[in-house]
Structure 1
């Protein structure tokens, strides 16, 4: 079915009401949400497996990543 909540009769196909169009859009929203959540989780786990982990050590976090990774200060505040 066509997506378009404000389509009148004749625009949404054979006897499609505004409520049916809203239902189609809700299914589209839900399926997009589920798809992005699953793909994001898979990519996050893949990156975590291919690297040594996404999180840095507590020591590097306390020291600051500018110093621990690049050996220089990012901001002199």
Structure 2
């Protein structure tokens, strides 16, 4: 799917919307891409983890550091 193929994207959308079965998906996009889409769909359908912020670590402890980024002319 990373190649931006419109057909593959349409198939992935159909699969996520339950319009295409796993067997059909595998036949259309191949086993590797089908597995990735199955994992993605399962992850998207899963409930997000409800994790509390750590109490023993202050990730913003100390002074903030500014970072100079290169301008387009410096690249």
Q: How high is the TM-score relative to the length of structure 1?
A: 0.25
Instruction: Name the structure where helix makes up a greater proportion of residues.
Output: 1
Choose 1 or 2 for highest CA Rg. Answer: 1
Q: How high is the TM-score relative to the length of structure 2?
A: 0.26
